Amino acid sequence: MSSLLKTHDPSEMNGLDFDVEKIRQDFPILHQKVGSKPLIYLDNAATSQKPQCVIDAVEKYYREDNANIHRGVHMLSERATDYYEGARKKIQAFLHAKHAHEILFVRGTTEAINLVAQSFGRTNLKAGDEILITHMEHHSNIVPWQLVCEQTGAVLKVAPINDRGELILEEFRKLLSEKTRLVSVVHISNSLGTINPVKEIIAMAHNQNIPVMLDGAQATPHVPIDVLELDCDFYAFSGHKLFGPTGIGVLYGKEKFLDAMPPYQGGGDMIRTVTLEGSTYNQLPYKFEAGTPNISGAIGLGAAIDYLYQINFSLATRHEEELLHYAQDKLAAINGLRMIGEAANKISVCSFVIEGIHPHDLGTILDQEGVAIRTGHHCTMPLMKRFGVPATARASMAFYNTLQEIDSLAAALRKAQEVFA
């Protein structure tokens, strides 16, 4: 905070400071005990907790507005449709997309990538063509491409990373070729926290007219997203990692690509006309939203985005940076601890292993101390292999976490070392 602000009235300062205790009041789930210990939730990269306003929005929808959308002439249906389409507009603004119809509701990032793989991939790929990913992808940005490669004879290429867990950009550039039909890259790694240089990646790919998809599951809760400025062609994220409900996610796609792509699933709402001889398809975005969608999920996600505007997202991310640096210092002080993922540019995710203690044992001991972390391969088995570990322990922080919670994490890790001494 600048010195100028310090001379201001203290009440104004409060408005500019990030008051984490006040923020925590918005999340009812955080105020509980695990056994006799207060819950310390450090598994935010797996899923985030939900503020009361999101829970209220979902409840209100079912209590007051529930109806099917886009087809009823009655009041409830019109209201439900308005809220659902209103959520789409909120997401358009959140991503800075040009058109609301470029926002498709899906189940989550996984379905978004599968949609692009099957709809864009199957249409545009032939034997010998290439798709380029990186070594730090989540299984959901590997397996859908392997499936479409099996179906089309295309080849999956993988750009390497260095020992700090950063993409080797020069190697990435070399792997772009006249055979490359699509680049699909994770914006921020779920296992390492690495923020990829996506602007450079996109510029390199576009230089050769190759479209780029970004997996934004971990990025949306931590950095502002502007798809126009990035100029990415597809962007996917999940609602539940962004303080919204599970089962709702978003695929953003540039209109020119979505228009040219065939439907992913067939059913109600995605058609214009159906005869027994054939069908014509609805316009965007409905062409890709077959069947009754997750209406309450979309509304809940809209409420989560409203919440992020309300709390001042830039102050929240600054607080997360402080949490990261504090956690890095505290973890580095633990004997025998090895960090996995030391990118210069990363978010508040700390993956690590401790000599002599398997991550799964760490997870159990930490749970007894009330500390919830993730242990395992984090759906990134190739990445675990790259670092020569079967699994890691991962503490992932959100803006509602506190420095004291990091202290408790460090104390619990020391306790685990005592048990295994």
Partner 1 sequence: MSDLRELYQEVILDHNKNPRNFHKLDNANHSAEGYNPLCGDQLTVFVKTDGTTIQDLSFEGHGCAISKASASLMTSILKGKSTEDAFKLFDKFHHMVTGEMGSEPDAELGKLAVFAGVCEFPSRVKCASLAWHTLKSAISSGEQVSTEGDDL
Catalytic residue positions?
A: 379
Select the residue interacting with partner 1 from 164, 174, 360, 414 (CB under 8 A): 360
**319 contact partners, CB below 8 Å, separation of at least 6:** 18, 20, 399
What is the C-alpha to C-alpha distance for residues 126 and 57, in angstroms, rounded to an integer?
Answer: 45
Given the rule CB under 8 A, which of 6-14, 97-105, 124-132, 360-368 is the region that contacts partner 1? 360-368
Only one of the segments 171-179, 202-210, 284-292, 352-360 lies at the binding site for partner 1 (rule: CB under 8 A); that segment is: 352-360
Minimum separation from the CB atom of position 409 to partner 1 (A): 17
For partner 1, the binding residue among 327, 349, 357, 410 (CB under 8 A) is 357
Which one among 165, 245, 359, 370 touches partner 1, defined by CB under 8 A? 359
Where does this chain touch partner 1 (CB under 8 A) — which range of 126-134, 252-260, 297-305, 361-369? 361-369
Over the Cα atoms of the chain, what is R_g?
Answer: 23
Burial, 65: exposed, middle or buried (Cβ in 10 Å; 0-12, 13-18, 19+)?
A: buried
Stretch that binds partner 1, among 69-77, 233-241, 351-359, 401-409 (CB under 8 A): 351-359
- Shortest Cβ 324–partner 1 spacing (Å): 26
Least CB distance to partner 1 at residue 377 (A)? 6
> Minimum CB separation from partner 1 for residue 363, in Å?
8
Q: State the minimum distance, in angstroms, from the CB of residue 361 to partner 1.
A: 5
Return the residues of window 366-395 that contact partner 1 according to CB under 8 A. 368, 375-377, 384, 390-391
The number of helix segments (H) and strand segments (E) in the chain equals 17, 17
DSSP structural state of residue 351: E
Residues written for the chain: 421
Build a one-symbol-per-residue string for 316-335: x at contacts with partner 1 by CB under 8 A, - elsewhere.
Answer: --------------------
Answer whether the bond into residue 390 is a cis peptide, omega within 30°. no
Helix residue spans in 233-312 (DSSP H): 255-260, 295-311
Contacts with partner 1 in 402-421 (CB under 8 A)? 419-420
Find the shortest distance in angstroms from Cβ 338 to partner 1: 16
Contacting residue, 30, 358, 386, 407, with partner 1 by CB under 8 A: 358
Question: Among 252, 259, 250, 249, which residue's Cα sits nearest to residue 231?
Answer: 252
| Cα–Cα distance list, 395 to 199, 373, 384, 407 (Å) | 27, 5, 16, 12
Q: What is the dihedral of CA 207, 213, 215, 221, to 10 degrees?
A: 70
Closer by beta carbon to partner 1, 122 or else 415 = 415
Question: With respect to partner 1, which residue has the nearer C-beta, 361 or 407?
Answer: 361
List Cβ neighbours of 188 (8 Å cut-off, separation of 6 or more): 194, 195, 196, 216, 218, 219, 222, 223, 346, 347
Q: Which is nearer to partner 1, 206 or 358 (CB)?
A: 358
With CB under 8 A as the contact rule, which of the stretches 160-168, 210-218, 341-349, 358-366 interacts with partner 1? 358-366
- Contact between 379 and 29 under an 8 Å Cβ cutoff? The reply is no
Q: Which residues bind partner 1 (CB under 8 A)?
A: 356-361, 364-365, 368, 375-377, 384, 390-391, 419-420
